[in-house]
Amino acid sequence: MQVYTNPVHAEYFADPFVWRSGDEYYAIGTGPMDADGRSPHADRPCVFPLMRSPDLIHWHPAGYALVPPDEALGHNFWAPEIAFAEGRWYLYYSVGHGDKQHQLRVAVSENPLGPYRDSAQLTDPAVVSFAIDPHPFQDDDGRWYLFHARDFLDTDRDDAGSIRAGTALVVSELETMTRLAPRVHTVLRAYCDWQLFAAQRPMYGQIFDWHTLEGPCVIKEGGRYYCIYSGGRWETDTYGVDYTVSDHVLGPYKVEAGIESPRILKTVPGHVIGPGHCSVVTTRDGSTRMIVYHAWDADMKARRMFIDELYFEGDQPRSDGPSWMPAELPLATVQRVKGPDNANRTN
């Protein structure tokens, strides 16, 4: 066993995406300048900080990933994720102007640490005014899908109650690694009180009680698809991590009534504030999943990178996090993970 203490990286590192290649782990995230719109525009990688680690605990800076695209696209760069396909590395991200006109794009590199150069637009702000948090997922048959978040203004009702206006989760198939299929499937709309971003929020020329679901991350377990997501307001203690499940990658995904708070990660007052926007990676022996996420410290000075185990109780994903005291990094907790395919690919 190795001992770690959260956060595992002391500097600002939001929206962490971690993947394993060979015997090493890599991480990419949203840096403070990316989030605030202060990233310089230059013909060199200066967007999205990179790190590498031999063990998920000790992280070392590895430069920056993305060469900034056309400055007219915006200065705010959010939530990068990496996929490897056809011998190349693909960086999915959003760029825009503050919290408006965010679009999804993809950049390509021959190396996991870049440099990544912008290659294609995936969503058009003239059609989809706000699209963020792209998550590429490869199914067992080799097909790729892109989960992400976008805005909905309508409201409706279903068996769980009212469906709220706000940012919610969708998925489309990737026709190629740089082209998104036009058909969009809704994964989950906000329907719980704890998912409120702001009451009476001015949006699109109207006033809404605005709710937010974002940061999708999909794992496959027991033949089912678990979309783990973050909800609430990222700047407050309401923010946390929950999930929805489906028998098919494109849905329908389950809507459960009576969910009063996030079930995987939530605030621990006085210690960890607003845990969210996670990725999932397996330990080197392939037996244990770790959930990697950001959270505020008690003084809310920065969003930093945390790790904890993700396991299943029956058919429900769970974590004992967020942790803030020294904990052991599990390497072989197979008995806590359901089913024979506990080492499935996680993206």
Q: What is the pLDDT of residues 157-169, one digit of tens each?
A: 655 557 899 999 9
Please give the pLDDT value at position 98.
81
Q: Which residues contact 286 (CB under 8 A, 6 or more apart)?
A: 343
Given this model, what pLDDT does residue 284 score?
81
Contacts of 7 (CB under 8 A, 6+ apart): 295, 297, 304, 305, 306
Instruction: Report, as ranges of residue numbers, the positions in the chain whose pLDDT lies below 70.
Output: 157-161, 331-347
Phi, psi dihedral angles at 303 (to 5 degrees): -90, 120
Task: State the architecture of 9-261 in CATH terms.
Answer: 5 Propeller (2.115)
Tell me if 251 sits within 8 A of 168, measured CB to CB: no
CB 164 within 8 A of CB 191: yes
Put residue 346 in one of left, alpha, beta given phi > 0 → left and psi -120 to 50 → alpha: beta
Which pLDDT value is given to residue 180?
A: 97
User: Could you read off the pLDDT of 9-54 as tens digits, one per residue?
Assistant: 999 999 999 999 888 999 999 999 999 988 888 889 999 999 999 9
DSSP state string for 25-80: EEEEEE-HHHHHT-----SS--EEEEEEESSSSS-EEEEEEEEP--GGG-SEEEEE
pLDDT for residue 160: 55
Note whether 279 and 16 are within 8 A (CB).
yes
Identity of residue 105: R
What is the helix (H) or strand (E) element at residue 120, kind and residue range? Answer: strand 116-121
Q: What is the predicted pLDDT for the residue at 331?
A: 62
Residue 330 has a pLDDT of: 78
Q: Count the neighbouring beta carbons within 10 Å of the beta carbon of residue 181.
A: 14
90-122 pLDDT, tens digit each: 999 999 998 788 999 999 999 999 999 999 999
pTM of the model: 0.93
